[in-house]
């Protein structure tokens, strides 16, 4: 899977957000806020294919955490990305 193109993380006043614009002229803007780890993953996997294992491995490598915890966090991150339609397969 891959992070969708044309999505931009905006950092304003300590917040890192992605604005998902509504369609048909109706302002149904959705805001996705990324914490620091989430933002780090976003930047790490922007413009490239990835899977659960790679995300989990990246967390272990960067933060030196237990692989089990990393797997859980990686799943949570990918679920969040999927629910908000930020990634495509």
Partner 1 sequence: MTRSVEMFLALLRLSLNDTAADDHPEFAGADDKDWEDVFAISARQGTVMLAYGGLQHLPPAIQPPRKLKLRWCANVVKGSDRYDGYRLAIHKLSRFFSEHGFDFLILKGITMSRLYPVPYYREGGDIDVYMFDRAKQADRLVSSQGIDVTCSIAKHSAFMFEGRMVENHYTFFDTDIRFRREARFYTRMEEMLAGMFTVASCPVVPDAANARELPPQAAALYLIGHTFRHFCCMDANVRQLCDWVVFFGAHRDQIDNRLLEAQIEELGIGRFVSAVNALCAARFGFEPRFMIPGSGDENEARFILKTIMRYRVQPRVHIPMVMPLRYIVSRNSIYNRYFGKIGLSEFLRPELMSYFSYLMKRPERGEKSKTRRDPAA
For partner 1, the binding residue among 12, 23, 25, 64 (CB under 8 A) is 12
Is position 17 an interface residue for partner 1 (rule: CB under 8 A)? yes
For residue 31, state whether it binds partner 1 (rule: CB under 8 A).
yes
- Confirm if 52 and 78 have CB atoms less than 8 A apart: yes
Contact between 25 and partner 1 (CB under 8 A)?
no
Question: Of 5, 42, 34, 39, which is closest to residue 17 (Cα–Cα)?
Answer: 34
Query: Which run of H or E residues covers position 74?
Result: helix 67-83
What is the binding site for partner 1 (CB under 8 A)? 10, 12-15, 17, 19, 29, 31, 33
């Amino acid at each position: 899977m891959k992070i969708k193109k044309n999505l931009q993380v905006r950092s304003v006043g300590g917040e890192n957000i992605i604005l998902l614009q509504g369609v048909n002229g109706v302002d149904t803007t959705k805001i996705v806020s990324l914490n620091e780890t989430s933002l780090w993953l976003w930047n790490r996997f922007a413009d490239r294919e990835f899977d659960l294992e790679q995300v989990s491995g990246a967390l272990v490598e960067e933060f030196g955490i237990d692989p089990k915890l990393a797997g859980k966090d990686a799943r949570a991150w990918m679920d969040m990305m999927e629910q908000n339609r930020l990634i495509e397969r």
